[in-house]
Each structure stands twice: as C-alpha cells, then as structure tokens.
Amino acid sequence: MLVTAYLAFVVLLASCLGLELSRCRAKPSGRACSNPSFLRFQLDFYQVYFLALAADWLQAPYLYKLYQHYHFLEGQIAILYVCGLASTVLFGLVASSLVDWLGRKKSCVLFSLTYSLCCLTKLSQDYFVLLVGRALGGLSTALLFSAFEAWYIHEHVERHDFPAEWIPATFARAAFWNHVLAVVAGVAAEAVACWMGLGPVAPFVAAIPLLALAGALALHHWGENYGRQRAFPRTCADGLRCLLSDRRVLLLGTIQALFESVIFIFVFLWTPVLDPHGAPLGIIFSSFMAASLLGSSLYRIATSKRYHLQPMHLVSLAVLIVVFSLFMLTFSTSPGQESPVESFIAFLLIELACGLYFPSMGFLRRKVIPETEQAGVLNWFRVPLHLLACLGLLVLHDSDRKTGARSMFSICSAVMVMALLAVVGLFTVVRHDAELRVPSPAGEPHAPEL
C-alpha cells in the first residue's frame, strides 16, 4: 500500500502538470492587466486567503486518525463528525447575515481565532472538549466560505472600482491554487506527523501559526466593509419560493444534496478503510487532491473551444463515475476479502469525479438561480445535504464494524443511482436551454493575468 500510494501520487502530479503546461501553451497570450493597484489588491487578498485555506487543508488527513489515536470507538468518532456537520449547517444558515452585521474583515479575523481554538481542542482527549472543537470547526468553516469572498467582492467593486468582469478570473485562479495548496498540505501533514514527535495531533498544532498570520495580515492590511442587512426569514422564504417555482432549481438541489452527502460520508470512511493496511495518510490525501485537480483540469479542457462539452454533460459523467466507484467499493471492502489497492483506486475515481462535478455545478447554479435569491436557495440546498450525511453517519454508528463500511457503500450506491435519475430529469428539462451552455471562448470578456 505504501508503494502504491507514492506511485499514484507521482503519476497524478505528473498528469496534472502535463495538462496545465499544455493548456498554458494553447492559451492565447492576450493582453495582461498591468494595473499595479489591482495586482497589489489581488495579492493582499490572496496572501490572507491562501493562508486560511492552507491551515484548513493541513488538518484534513489526520482528523479521523487523531480520534482513533485517542482510543475512541468508530461510533463515537461518527458522532463527532455528525456534530461537525450539524454545526456547519446551523452556522451556515446565518453566516451571511452574521458577516454582514459584524463586518467582513472582523469576520475573517474571527475565523482565525475560532479555528485556532478548534485546533487547540485537539490537544485534549476529553470527548466533550472535542465536541466543542467540532462545533467551533463548523463555525469556522461557515466563515471561511462566506466572509473572505464577500470582503473581496465589495472591495473590488465598491472601494477600488475595478471592472466586475475581473472577479471570476480572481476566483478561478484562487480555485486552482486551492487545489495546489491541498496537495502540498497533505505532504506537509505527513511530514509534521512523522517528524514533530506529536503524532496525529501535529498537523493541528502546525495549522495554528498559519491561522494567526492570516488573522494578523487581515487585521493590518484590510479595510472594513459591511453588507446590507436582510431579514433571515425573508431570505429563506424567497429562496423556497424560487426552489418550488422552477423545476430546474429543484432538480439541481436534489442532485447537490444526494451527490455531496455521499462525498461527506466518503470523507469519513476513507481513513478506516485504508489506514489498517499501512497507508501513509498524508500522501493518500495529497493523491486525492491531485486527482481532484486533474478532474478540474479536464473540466477546463472539455469546456474549451476545441471540445466544447457542456457542464450538464460533465455533471452526468461525474455521477456515473461515482456510481461505478461505489460499486467497486462494495466488493473491495468485503470482510475477509479486503482489497486496499482497489479501494484506493475507487477513492481516486471519486475525487476525479469531484474535480469535474464542482465547477460544472457552480456554472449551472449561477445560470439557473437568480443572483438575488442565491443565498436563500443555497440555504435550502444545504439542509437536506447535511441531514442525509448525518443520517448516513448515524446508521454507520449503529452498524457492525466489520460490515459497516461495506453496508454504507452499498447505501451510497443506491443514493447515487437516485442522483443519476435526477440528472436525467434535469437533462430532459434543460436539453434545449441555450442559457445553460458555455459561451464561445471568442466571445468571452478579457480576464486579467496576475
């Protein structure tokens, strides 16, 4: 398993590098943005945002292993994950309103504080303290995916008056480097877990200086801005109205809830499936992230002028890949006949599918959901998503350890078949909808280069 993990990591990394180099060579040179104010502003945002993302990714490979190291049973670990998911959905519902009221800069600093406290709780072996840490992690995750983006958009448009057309380029570049950071974070987590002498808690300790630096940079270099207050009940009511009045939105939400709840369960299960066979968890995680990066690169190539595939096709392909992978896992995790290499390949395919799915789904959401209703609609998307994931983990909590993983993969296979039916339904509805097609590259606005 050790050799397989390192070999897969090298092959995936080389594939990603090759695709990116070929894409850069094929891309027209274009006119680069030479506005020094914009470049300086973009760099100020990236240095804080990337530190926050790096600290987040650094903790991912060893979370399950840490709880296992503290001798908690699999059912107890499942409850910790459920607590984290529940806090994410609860804080996620009010995060936008909280950020607008408190201020985006203060919210980013608050993220650094709460996530640092979350990391510190990992030093304790007390179950209640770890539950509190999971709740703090849920709050931090909600702030990470709301405050930073909101701060940037307001500063970009309102304070600096840069063209709004440059915003997607900034976040597209951030998404690419987010994948790169995730790959590097897995290797770094493996290194600090082996060399710091602290065991599985080492990556959490190493994340604290990154969070402190991110908070300090935001505090000293960023200006404050606030959002317009909007009543939370009205936001949810408008979102529900949009969800029920447009069949496309309803089907899109169904696909998201089913697909992403399975991904949450996969995040919980990969460690207990591979760790008993001596897998290097940090390298395994980096391989997953490299596979996801490969999927994102394939998305950009598939939707390019040369191939011009549509996001709806790629969502369908992603769901099919996950269905196939889960069927593989139901056989490779059979008690007494485990095949860790096959399981690892199946997990890599799931991550590859995620690399195709998330940019495709992001494109479809932007086209289908009106911008003014996105916050409310996404709140309704998150609720069934997290409920399904929590339900799956609770079912796993009550199952026999030897057959629990295989049973859960079987259930996830059935869930993904339902997602596939929803994809077919959506494809039937939007088949002739020109709005959901990627525009011709020749007509796209110029995006600045950094």
Q: Does residue 32 contact residue 310 with C-beta atoms inside 8 Å?
A: no
Domain membership of residue 379 (yes or no) is yes
Secondary element (H or E) of residue 123: none
Distance CA(199)–CA(179), nearest Å, equals 25
pLDDT mean over 219-246: 77
The H-assigned helical ranges of 70-157 are 74-102, 104-121, 127-144, 147-154
DSSP assignment, residue 222?
P
Domain membership of residue 349 (yes or no) is yes
Q: Do 261 and 214 lie in a common domain?
A: no
Domain membership of residue 315 (yes or no) is yes
User: Using alpha carbons only, what angle is made at residue 395 by residues 389 and 401, rounded to the nearest 5 degrees?
Assistant: 120
pLDDT (tens digit per residue) in 251-293: 888 898 899 889 989 998 999 999 988 889 999 999 999 999 9
- Residue type at position 86: A
Distance CA(264)–CA(138), nearest Å, equals 14
- Among left, alpha and beta (phi > 0; psi -120 to 50; other), residue 336 is left
Which residue among 227, 256, 288 closes a domain?
Answer: 227
Distance CA(78)–CA(393), nearest Å, equals 6
Distance CA(8)–CA(14), nearest Å, equals 10
User: Using alpha carbons only, what angle is made at residue 378 by residues 377 and 384, rounded to the nearest 5 degrees?
Assistant: 100
pLDDT value, residue 287 = 96
Q: Do 218 and 262 lie in a common domain?
A: no
Q: Do 180 and 269 lie in a common domain?
A: no
pLDDT mean over 157-162: 87
Q: Does residue 283 contact residue 6 with C-beta atoms inside 8 Å?
A: yes
CA-closest candidate to residue 23, choices 147, 221, 176, 219: 176
Domain membership of residue 102 (yes or no) is yes
Domain membership of residue 346 (yes or no) is yes
Res. 405: pLDDT tops 70: yes
Percent of the residues in the chain that have a pLDDT greater than 70, as a whole number: 89
- Give the count of beta carbons closer than 10 Å to the beta carbon of residue 356: 26
Q: Categorize the per-residue pLDDT at 232 as very low, low, confident or very high, splitting at 50, 70 and 90.
A: low
pLDDT value, residue 29 = 46
Q: Do 129 and 269 lie in a common domain?
A: no
User: Using alpha carbons only, what angle is made at residue 281 by residues 264 and 78, rounded to the nearest 5 degrees?
Assistant: 35
Q: Do 196 and 290 lie in a common domain?
A: no
Q: Report DSSP letters for 314-349, one per residue.
A: HHHHHHHHHHHHHHHHHHHT-TT---HHHHHHHHHH
Q: Do 177 and 241 lie in a common domain?
A: no
Report residue 446: phi and psi, to 5°: -65, 135
Report residue 306: phi and psi, to 5°: -70, -45
Q: Categorize the per-residue pLDDT at 442 as very low, low, confident or very high, splitting at 50, 70 and 90.
A: very low
Q: Do 291 and 364 lie in a common domain?
A: yes
For the four alpha carbons of 218, 220, 173 and 369, in that order, the dihedral sign comes to positive
Res. 375: pLDDT tops 70: no
DSSP assignment, residue 155?
I
User: Which range marks the domain in which residue 361 is found?
Assistant: 230-433
CATH code, domain carrying 207: 1.20.1250.20
Q: Do 214 and 291 lie in a common domain?
A: no
pLDDT (tens digit per residue) in 72-88: 988 889 899 989 888 88
Q: Do 200 and 290 lie in a common domain?
A: no
Distance CA(415)–CA(388), nearest Å, equals 10
Q: Do 391 and 252 lie in a common domain?
A: yes
Domain membership of residue 156 (yes or no) is yes
Domains identified in the chain, total number: 2
Domain membership of residue 28 (yes or no) is no
pLDDT (tens digit per residue) in 316-342: 999 999 999 999 999 998 888 889 999
DSSP assignment, residue 161?
-
pLDDT value, residue 443 = 42
pLDDT mean over 148-168: 88
Q: Do 46 and 179 lie in a common domain?
A: yes
Secondary element (H or E) of residue 189: helix 167-195
CA-closest candidate to residue 329, choices 316, 339, 319: 339
CA 169 to chain centre: 19
Domain membership of residue 44 (yes or no) is yes
Which residue among 183, 208, 227 closes a domain?
Answer: 227
Q: Do 155 and 223 lie in a common domain?
A: yes
CA 163 to chain centre: 28
Q: Does residue 59 contact residue 119 with C-beta atoms inside 8 Å?
A: yes
